[in-house]
């Protein structure tokens, strides 16, 4: 019987994405009436245990090397492991490595591949994937006409499934990567990993931005914004007025004559929304605003807003977000 | 070093949302009055290749699979002084379907002299799946690395820097290799000089049909339809902002926080 | 004496010849057509020196000096003719009134002029001047020449006991005073010696002049004679991309010969820099220093040419970045507002040279500020410079039912909205107001809607002439294919490019700025204004309307219809207007917060006490609104396009008049 496979790659920490990936694989398997096999290439015990309690079977892939991600060898291991499992659907997460390998794995398995899935329909004859296209301006439903289909998910957007009462059996498979004869194994080698703090992210690349404007009235409130930003993993930005006033560094300026940003979330606090500022955030997926003036132009360009003085909002909002985060991590 | 950069022409991603329309027949965006442009990550890929050529001898070939207007993308590449340009004309096969594109690119590459390094943009601004580089590597039997933003020559190959979830990685690679390129402050696309833009229109540019690279439309269609768009919708975006409601300030802040959190959670 | 004349003429002639040869290294340009018009211009600007009078003190002393020396030169020539050619013209009343009295007085006038100039140079020291030793020596020399002239006259009178001495009051004074000290014979000797001294000084000055700023006595009239008749505020020259060797200017010989003549015409008066808005707010840009710096390059280039004995210098005279005034940063501060050209007494075209150098940076080096490149890329790809705008070209026309021009039978005008009026949120309401006024007047008009593109004005002024050229040809083809005869546009930049620049590319339609057209509609009674508001209005003249095109009164007449009080004028208004800071692509550049042209202009506007700043340009509107916003949060002063103010003055506006979003 074919299987639905979830793949957990080396070097990935246990987080929401792992939960979402296993949860969705479980649901897809259920819809298709198939079994969910988790293929783990991870040395993380937490991940191994979580996989065992959220799947029908775990295949733990081990090599003689320690489980360090290297593109070519990892792909070969996944290919071998999945091919042996008669896959119909193979799901991967949204980490760099999964994105890198998904299409190649699909090709090697003789199937197809789809990237960046936001929803999977597995209740018809064919697997269908909903995904955002044209820079978020449209949504497409994509059908896999050739199976197996390898899909990487925006895993954090998928909800986890409850833990199963009985842990699945864990089988360990060993792969010999040294003398396997595949010359490509050594063709690329990751020789150095550099962990950068979030502070290193450029505004242009930031996934989320909290931005302050003239309405903040001075440099001090930006400290509060920084706290808020830290809680949600966002970068700090500012309007030209705020930069001009010297409240924050000029490099933080967002707008036509400053940085042009494209985050998933742009949270504008005390920014009225001058044309030139709006031109800098045209590519933001979701704009949210907090402003005292309900008539401020920024509200004509945002998805949701809160009409209130930032002074009443930022503190409680930050606390509330801390709460939400801790509950979701439990 | 012999370099190949694959370029894609897409609908201008900056088309204002109110001008964005969908062609319900073709299941793709209508061009309308918007322009076609070079995909931005392809421009980063080209820039990365140009920088590499600046550092070591070699030639750059630009290759594009697209309809006739896509010639413009290659002309721009010629203006930035790539050495050769090839257009494989798309007879109307859906732009979706990276496997079709990978098949065509691979067939064209087989016809050309061997390349040491093949670079592509990490994803395109239209369908944005980021599959082509990996699929192309498989078809060519080459190793591949994604999200690369810097390449420098080293003894026996190249050293690549790529962006990861946690920061960056350095890789050493033997050649040949396929790399998908992402943007960084080190590969901002350069601007062509006017004279080069003018000269670009006189430079040779080879156009191939699918047949000329040993393929036929049917087989490419078949490959491309491994995955197929079956519906495409542009949600009617209301210009109006949704003000969070609630009787008390706390309620409103809670609502607001939950909306923010939902987005953050999905990142 | 005539022997002395030979070396004088030779040295003078060589000086002039050297300059002539110097200018010849420039590229050709045709500047000798329409001789009558050109002569009239020389008379007005050269003889009456109307421009210098902007600074009344400079106007006065220069006129005194100028007319004094003109008179003395005429008188000297008459003496020459009388004595040496033996043509008896110094006779009777002419002798008494002109040759004696008038000349005597004008000499004093000239000396007073020199004194005023001296006081300015040594006491009040306005910053716009260049303080060189050369200027000092010239003034001293002129004064000595005049003084020795009076000594000569006085001693001649004393020696000859001239019966008409009273007609030369100053000379007579000198004579009386001298006789009190010396006897007649000594004076006769002194007269002869002084005569030779005087002549030596005069000849010396003549010989020296071409090597100093006095050269302008020759070059200024020549420069005015060959100046740009079609665009007194200066214009930009198209490039023939098929034949041009270099796009733009990086070395001195790439200017036209007229451009080089400009450099040698400079009197260092500094009017250009004094009027430059960028300089006024403390930026590096100084048009005067650019001209003087280029002048040094010209001299260096011509010395080099002499050495290599050929026409082509070896290209080692790259001017961009060679001095702080020619640094790229300075060149990227120019708004092309033309205040410099307008201010120049000798018709030098300063900002077109800046654009020439920008062309080199933009096209040959592809090296320009990022945000400007963004604007250019956007123009190229999307036909508008506003990268990141969330508006589409038709948003402003929502629910107004304005047809495409091709669907309008017997269309009177095409309304060319312009990117600024369609794609910047603040301006949508101005554009709506204009369209509603046209509808109200029953004008048969249409638009191009999504097919409208950028005229290329910012590209041209940023220096990407190639992009401008492309856009211009596309637009001309489009408008001609639609059979457009008349275009009305609310953007002075579009207006200026269409009216003054497109004809060089073959455009054949007439273009009107919306204020001109609205004035016409009111004049024809097609549009009645009913209401007068209590607004206190000051009018900001857009550079490309006022200075570049001389349209300053029509907008004001329109405004007077809408208010019951007088307009409050800023000190710098009309053709002297101070730029909003948005021209020349500068609205796409982030200026340092303490050096913003728009803030300075906003200050000038607010200082009038007006509650409304009227503008006729979408760029001015956004720049000034931004400027006022940075002066004071929640400032009550509004920026309104004239069309908005006129629409307010319509009595029975449809009540459905939607809110503008």
> Which residues 244-263 in chain A show a CB within 8 A of chain B?
none
Q: Both B161 and B250 in a single domain?
A: no
Q: Are A6 and A50 in contact (CB under 8 A)?
A: no
CA Rg, chain C, in Å?
Answer: 30
Mean pLDDT score across all residues of chain B: 92
Determine the residue of chain A that is closest to B256 in CA distance.
Answer: A306
Beta-carbon separation of C363 and B19 below 8 A = no
pLDDT at C515: 97
Kindly state whether C571 is in contact with chain A, defined as any CB-CB distance less than 8 angstroms. no
Q: Both B200 and B266 in a single domain?
A: no
pLDDT at C11: 92
pLDDT at A275: 76
pLDDT at B197: 95
CA–CA distance, C117 with C69 (Å, rounded to integer):
15
Q: Both B267 and B165 in a single domain?
A: no
Beta-carbon separation of C247 and B195 below 8 A = yes
Q: Please, what's the b/e burial string for B100-120 (b: 16 or more CB within 10 A of its CB; e: otherwise)?
A: bbbbbbbbbbeeeeebbbbbb
Q: What is the DSSP string of C620-638?
A: HHHHHHHHHHHHSTT-S-E
Choose among B14, B18, B197: nearest Cβ to C382: B14
Which ranges in C383-508 belong to alpha helices (H)? 419-423, 428-440, 457-462, 465-481, 492-496
- For chain B, the maximum distance between any two Cα atoms, rounded to a whole number of angstroms, is 71
Q: Both B150 and B264 in a single domain?
A: no
Residues C189-206: tens digit of each pLDDT: 888 899 889 989 999 999
Mean pLDDT of B84-110: 93
pLDDT at B19: 83
Q: Both B55 and B90 in a single domain?
A: yes
pLDDT at C186: 86
Q: Are C273 and C342 in contact (CB under 8 A)?
A: no
| Residues of B with Cβ-Cβ distance to C366 under 8 angstroms | 190-194
pLDDT at A66: 57
Determine the residue of chain C that is closest to A244 in CA distance.
Answer: C593
CA–CA distance, C280 with C266 (Å, rounded to integer):
20
Asked whether residue B75 is domain-assigned, the answer is: yes
CA distances from B81 to A16, B33, B51, B217 (A): 46, 29, 12, 31
Reduce the DSSP state of residue A225 to 3 states and report it. helix
CA–CA distance, A82 with A86 (Å, rounded to integer):
7
Mean pLDDT of C537-542: 97
**CA-based nearest residue to C338, from C236, C195, C253:** C236
Asked whether residue B245 is domain-assigned, the answer is: yes
pLDDT at C341: 96
Beta-carbon separation of A187 and B233 below 8 A = no
> Under 8 Å CB-to-CB from C77, ≥6 apart: which residues?
none
Beta-carbon separation of A196 and B173 below 8 A = no
DSSP element (H, E) containing C371: helix C370-382
pLDDT at A205: 79
| Interface size, chain A vs chain C, as Cβ–Cβ contacts under 8 Å | 50
| Residues of B with Cβ-Cβ distance to C363 under 8 angstroms | 193-195
CA–CA distance, C428 with C399 (Å, rounded to integer):
13
Kindly state whether A202 is in contact with chain B, defined as any CB-CB distance less than 8 angstroms. yes
> Under 8 Å CB-to-CB from C243, ≥6 apart: which residues?
none
Q: Both B220 and B246 in a single domain?
A: no
Strand partners, B247: none
Strand partners, A140: A131, B232
pLDDT at B238: 59
Beta-carbon separation of B177 and A187 below 8 A = yes
| Residues of B with Cβ-Cβ distance to A320 under 8 angstroms | 253-254, 257
Residues B182-241: tens digit of each pLDDT: 988 788 899 999 999 999 999 999 999 999 999 999 999 999 999 999 999 987 665 678
Mean pLDDT of C593-599: 89
Q: Say whether pLDDT at A143 is over 70.
A: yes
Q: Both B26 and B121 in a single domain?
A: yes
At residue A55 the predicted structure's pLDDT band, cuts being 50, 70 and 90, is very high
Task: Tell which of A202, A216, A257 to mutate to test the C interface (max C CBs under 10 Å).
Answer: A257
Determine the residue of chain B that is closest to A287 in CA distance.
Answer: B241
Residues A190-225: tens digit of each pLDDT: 888 887 654 567 788 788 999 999 889 889 999 999
What's the pTM value of the predicted model, to 2 decimals? 0.89
Q: Are A150 and A115 in contact (CB under 8 A)?
A: no
Choose among C387, C424, C630: nearest Cβ to A275: C424
- For chain C, list the domains and their CATH numbers: 32-219 (no CATH), 226-364 (1.10.1060), 374-648 (no CATH)
Reduce the DSSP state of residue A7 to 3 states and report it. strand
Q: Say whether pLDDT at C476 is over 70.
A: yes
Q: Long-range contact list for C403-406, CB < 8 A, 24+ apart?
A: C403/C446, C403/C447, C404/C446, C404/C447, C404/C448, C404/C449, C404/C451, C405/C445, C405/C446, C405/C447, C405/C448, C405/C482, C405/C484, C406/C446, C406/C482
Residues C627-648: tens digit of each pLDDT: 998 888 778 999 999 999 999 9
Asked whether residue B8 is domain-assigned, the answer is: yes
Task: Tell which of B50, B194, B240 to mutate to test the C interface (max C CBs under 10 Å).
Answer: B194
Determine the residue of chain A that is closest to C369 in CA distance.
Answer: A257
Asked whether residue B121 is domain-assigned, the answer is: yes
The number of angstroms, rounded, from the C-alpha of C456 to the middle of its chain's C-alpha atoms is 22
Number of domains within chain B = 2
Residues A214-265: tens digit of each pLDDT: 889 889 999 999 999 999 999 999 998 888 778 888 788 898 777 888 899 9
Mean pLDDT of A125-151: 92
pLDDT at A7: 95
Strand partners, C537: C612
What count of Cα atoms within 13 Å lies in the side-chain half-sphere of residue B2?
A: 8
CA–CA distance, C327 with B203 (Å, rounded to integer):
35
Q: Are C343 and C51 in contact (CB under 8 A)?
A: yes
Q: Both B53 and B154 in a single domain?
A: yes
CATH number at residue B23: 3.40.50.620
Which of B93-97, C286-290, C559-563 has the lowest average pLDDT?
B93-97
Residues B133-154: tens digit of each pLDDT: 999 999 999 999 999 999 999 9
Determine the residue of chain B that is closest to A142 in CA distance.
Answer: B229
Count CB-CB contacts under 10 A for residue C633. Answer: 11
Beta-carbon separation of C390 and B16 below 8 A = yes
Determine the residue of chain B that is closest to A187 in CA distance.
Answer: B174
Mean pLDDT score across all residues of chain A: 88
CA–CA distance, C197 with C155 (Å, rounded to integer):
14
Kindly state whether C322 is in contact with chain A, defined as any CB-CB distance less than 8 angstroms. no
| Residues of B with Cβ-Cβ distance to C241 under 8 angstroms | 194, 198
Bridging pattern class, strands C612-615 and C638-641: parallel
- For chain A, list the domains and their CATH numbers: 3-186 (3.40.50.620), 198-329 (3.40.50.1220)
> Which residues 96-155 in chain B show a CB within 8 A of chain A?
96, 98-99, 123, 125-135, 137-139, 141-147
Residues C79-118: tens digit of each pLDDT: 888 888 888 887 888 888 888 889 999 999 999 999 999 9
Asked whether residue B192 is domain-assigned, the answer is: yes
Q: Are C264 and C289 in contact (CB under 8 A)?
A: no
Reduce the DSSP state of residue C99 to 3 states and report it. helix
Q: Both B91 and B177 in a single domain?
A: yes
CA–CA distance, A213 with A206 (Å, rounded to integer):
18
pLDDT at C49: 86
CA–CA distance, C74 with C61 (Å, rounded to integer):
20
Q: Are C149 and C198 in contact (CB under 8 A)?
A: yes
pLDDT at C657: 43
Q: Both B51 and B177 in a single domain?
A: yes
CA–CA distance, C265 with C262 (Å, rounded to integer):
5
Q: Both B187 and B242 in a single domain?
A: no
Asked whether residue B29 is domain-assigned, the answer is: yes
CA–CA distance, C603 with C597 (Å, rounded to integer):
10
Domain span at residue B29 reads 2-224
| Residues of B with Cβ-Cβ distance to C388 under 8 angstroms | 14
Dihedral angle at the C-alpha atoms of B108, B109, B112, B116, nearest 10 degrees? 170
Q: Both B209 and B248 in a single domain?
A: no
**CA-based nearest residue to B166, from A230, A110, A193:** A193
Mean pLDDT score across all residues of chain C: 91
At residue C391 the predicted structure's pLDDT band, cuts being 50, 70 and 90, is confident
Q: Are B121 and B10 in contact (CB under 8 A)?
A: no
Task: Tell which of C373, C377, C390, C592 to mutate to test the A interface (max A CBs under 10 Å).
Answer: C390
**CA-based nearest residue to C453, from C508, C494, C496, C403:** C494
Asked whether residue B231 is domain-assigned, the answer is: no
Q: What percent of chain C has pLDDT over 70?
A: 96
CA–CA distance, B84 with B88 (Å, rounded to integer):
13
> Which residues 36-75 in chain B show a CB within 8 A of chain A?
none
Choose among C365, C373, C390: nearest Cβ to B17: C390
Q: Say whether pLDDT at C534 is over 60.
A: yes
Q: Say whether pLDDT at C283 is over 60.
A: yes
The alpha carbon of residue A105 is apart from the nearest alpha carbon of chain B, in Å, by 9
CA–CA distance, A114 with B129 (Å, rounded to integer):
7
Mean pLDDT of B243-254: 89
Mean pLDDT of B42-51: 97
| Residues of C with Cβ-Cβ distance to A287 under 8 angstroms | none
| Residues of A with Cβ-Cβ distance to B167 under 8 angstroms | 193-196, 200
Beta-carbon separation of B32 and C464 below 8 A = no
Asked whether residue B229 is domain-assigned, the answer is: no
Dihedral angle at the C-alpha atoms of C487, C493, C496, C501, nearest 10 degrees? -100
End-to-end CA distance of chain B: 39
């Amino acid at each position: 019987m074919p299987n639905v496979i979830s793949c957990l790659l080396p070097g990935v920490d246990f987080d929401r994405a792992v939960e979402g990936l296993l949860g969705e694989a479980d649901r897809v398997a259920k819809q298709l009436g198939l079994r969910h096999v988790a293929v783990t290439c991870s040395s993380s015990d937490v991940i191994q245990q979580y996989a065992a309690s959220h799947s029908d079977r775990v295949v733990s892939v081990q090599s003689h090397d320690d489980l360090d991600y290297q593109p070519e060898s990892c792909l070969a291991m996944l290919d071998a492991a999945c091919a042996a499992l008669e896959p119909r659907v193979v799901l991967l997460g949204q980490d760099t490595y999964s994105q890198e390998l998904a299409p190649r794995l699909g090709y090697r398995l003789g199937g197809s591949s789809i990237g960046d899935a936001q929803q999977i329909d597995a209740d018809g004859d064919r697997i269908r994937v909903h995904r955002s296209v044209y820079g978020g301006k449209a949504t497409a439903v994509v059908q896999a006409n050739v199976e197996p289909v390898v899909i990487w998910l925006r895993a954090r957007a998928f909800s986890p499934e409850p833990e199963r009462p009985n842990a699945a059996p864990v089988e360990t498979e060993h792969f010999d990567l040294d003398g396997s004869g595949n010359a490509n194994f050594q063709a690329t080698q990751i020789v150095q990993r550099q962990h950068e703090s979030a502070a290193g992210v450029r505004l242009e690349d930031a996934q989320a931005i909290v931005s302050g404007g003239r309405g903040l009235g001075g440099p001090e409130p930006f400290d509060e914004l920084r706290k808020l930003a830290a809680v949600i993993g966002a970068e700090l930005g500012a309007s030209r007025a705020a930069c001009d006033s010297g409240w924050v560094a000029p490099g933080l300026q967002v707008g036509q004559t400053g940085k042009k940003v494209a985050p998933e979330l742009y949270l504008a606090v005390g920014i009225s929304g001058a044309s030139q500022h709006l031109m800098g955030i045209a590519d933001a997926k979701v704009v949210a605003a907090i402003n005292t003036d309900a008539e401020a132009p920024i509200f004509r360009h945002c998805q949701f807003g809160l009409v209130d003085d930032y002074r009443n909002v930022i503190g409680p909002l930050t606390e509330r977000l801390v709460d939400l985060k801790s509950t979701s991590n439990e | 070093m012999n370099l190949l950069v694959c370029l894609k022409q897409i609908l201008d991603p900056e088309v204002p949302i109110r001008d964005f329309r969908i062609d319900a027949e073709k299941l793709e965006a209508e061009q309308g009055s918007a322009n076609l442009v070079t995909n931005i990550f392809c421009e980063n890929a080209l820039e990365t290749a140009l920088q590499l050529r600046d550092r070591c001898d070699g030639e750059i070939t630009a290759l594009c699979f697209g309809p006739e207007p896509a010639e413009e993308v290659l002309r721009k590449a010629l203006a930035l002084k790539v050495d050769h340009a090839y257009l494989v004309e798309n007879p109307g096969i859906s732009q979706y379907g990276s496997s079709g594109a990978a098949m065509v690119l691979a067939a064209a590459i087989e016809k050309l002299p061997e390349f040491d390094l093949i670079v592509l943009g990490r994803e395109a601004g239209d369908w944005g799946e980021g599959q082509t580089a990996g699929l192309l590597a498989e078809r060519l039997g080459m190793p591949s690395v994604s999200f690369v933003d810097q390449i420098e020559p080293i003894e026996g190959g190249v050293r690549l820097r790529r962006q990861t979830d946690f920061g960056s990685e350095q890789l050493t690679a033997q050649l040949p290799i396929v790399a998908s390129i992402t943007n960084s402050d080190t590969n901002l696309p350069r601007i062509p000089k006017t004279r080069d833009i003018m000269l670009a229109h006189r430079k040779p540019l080879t156009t191939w049909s699918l047949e000329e690279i040993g393929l036929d439309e049917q087989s490419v269609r078949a490959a491309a339809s491994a995955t197929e768009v079956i519906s495409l919708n542009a949600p009617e975006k209301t210009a109006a902002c949704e003000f969070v409601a609630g009787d008390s300030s706390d309620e409103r802040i809670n609502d607001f926080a939950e909306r923010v959190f939902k987005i953050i959670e999905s990142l | 004496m005539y022997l002395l004349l030979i070396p004088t003429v030779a040295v003078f002639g060589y000086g002039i010849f050297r300059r002539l040869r110097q200018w010849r290294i420039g590229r050709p340009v045709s500047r000798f057509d329409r001789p009558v018009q050109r002569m009239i211009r020389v008379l007005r600007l050269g003889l009456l020196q109307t421009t210098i009078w902007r600074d009344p003190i400079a106007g006065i002393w220069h006129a005194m000096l100028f007319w004094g020396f003109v008179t003395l030169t005429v008188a000297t020539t008459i003496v020459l003719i009388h004595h040496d050619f033996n043509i008896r013209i110094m006779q009777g009343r002419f002798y008494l009134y002109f040759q004696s009295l008038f000349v005597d007085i004008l000499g004093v006038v000239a000396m007073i002029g020199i004194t005023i100039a001296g006081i300015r140079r040594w006491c009040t020291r306005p910053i716009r001047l260049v303080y060189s030793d050369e200027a000092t020596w010239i003034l001293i020399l002129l004064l000595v020449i005049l003084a020795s002239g009076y000594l000569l006259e006085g001693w001649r009178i004393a020696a000859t006991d001239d019966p008409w001495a009273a007609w030369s009051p100053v000379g007579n004074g000198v004579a009386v005073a001298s006789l009190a000290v010396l006897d007649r014979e000594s004076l006769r000797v002194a007269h002869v010696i002084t005569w030779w001294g005087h002549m030596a000084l005069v000849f010396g000055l003549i010989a020296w002049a071409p090597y100093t700023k006095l050269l302008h006595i020759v070059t200024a009239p020549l420069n005015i004679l060959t100046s740009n008749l079609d665009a007194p505020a200066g214009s930009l020259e198209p490039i023939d991309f098929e034949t041009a060797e270099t796009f733009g200017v990086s070395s001195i010989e790439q200017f036209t010969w007229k451009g080089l003549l400009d450099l040698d015409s400079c009197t260092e008066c500094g009017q250009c820099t004094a009027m430059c808005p960028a300089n006024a707010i403390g930026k590096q840009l100084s048009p005067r220093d650019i001209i003087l710096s280029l002048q040094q390059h010209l001299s260096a280039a011509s010395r080099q040419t002499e050495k290599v004995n050929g026409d082509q210098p070896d290209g080692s005279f790259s001017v961009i970045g060679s001095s702080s005034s020619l640094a790229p940063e300075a060149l990227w501060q120019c708004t092309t507002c033309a205040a410099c050209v307008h201010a120049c007494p000798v018709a030098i075209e300063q900002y077109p040279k800046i654009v020439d150098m920008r062309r080199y940076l933009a096209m040959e080096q592809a090296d320009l500020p990022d945000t400007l490149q963004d604007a250019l890329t956007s123009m190229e790809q999307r036909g508008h410079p506003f990268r990141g705008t969330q508006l589409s070209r038709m948003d402003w026309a929502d629910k107004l039912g304005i047809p495409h021009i091709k669907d309008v039978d017997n269309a009177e005008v095409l309304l060319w909205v312009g990117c600024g009026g369609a794609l910047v949120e603040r301006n949508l309401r101005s554009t709506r107001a204009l369209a509603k006024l046209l509808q109200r007047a029953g004008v048969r008009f249409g638009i191009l809607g999504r097919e409208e593109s950028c005229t290329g004005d910012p590209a041209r002024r940023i220096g990407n002439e190639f992009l401008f050229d492309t856009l211009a040809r596309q637009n001309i083809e489009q408008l001609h294919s639609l059979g457009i005869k008349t275009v009305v546009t609310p953007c002075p930049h579009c207006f200026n490019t269409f009216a003054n620049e497109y004809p060089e590319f073959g455009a054949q339609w007439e273009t009107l700025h919306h204020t001109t057209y609205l004035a016409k509609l009111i004049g024809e009674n097609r549009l009645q204004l009913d209401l007068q508001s209590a607004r206190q209005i000051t009018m900001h003249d857009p550079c490309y309307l006022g200075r570049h095109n001389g349209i300053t009164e029509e907008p004001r007449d329109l405004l007077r219809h809408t208010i019951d009080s007088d307009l409050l004028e800023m000190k710098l208004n009309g053709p002297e207007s101070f730029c909003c800071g948005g021209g020349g692509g500068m609205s796409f550049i982030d200026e340092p917060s303490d050096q913003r042209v728009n803030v300075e202009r906003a200050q000038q506007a607010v200082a009038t006490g007006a509650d409304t700043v009227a503008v006729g340009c979408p760029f001015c509107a956004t720049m000034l609104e931004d400027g006022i916003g940075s002066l004071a949060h929640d400032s009550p002063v509004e920026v309104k396009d004239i069309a908005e103010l006129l629409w307010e003055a319509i009595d029975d506006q449809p009540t459905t008049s939607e809110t503008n979003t």
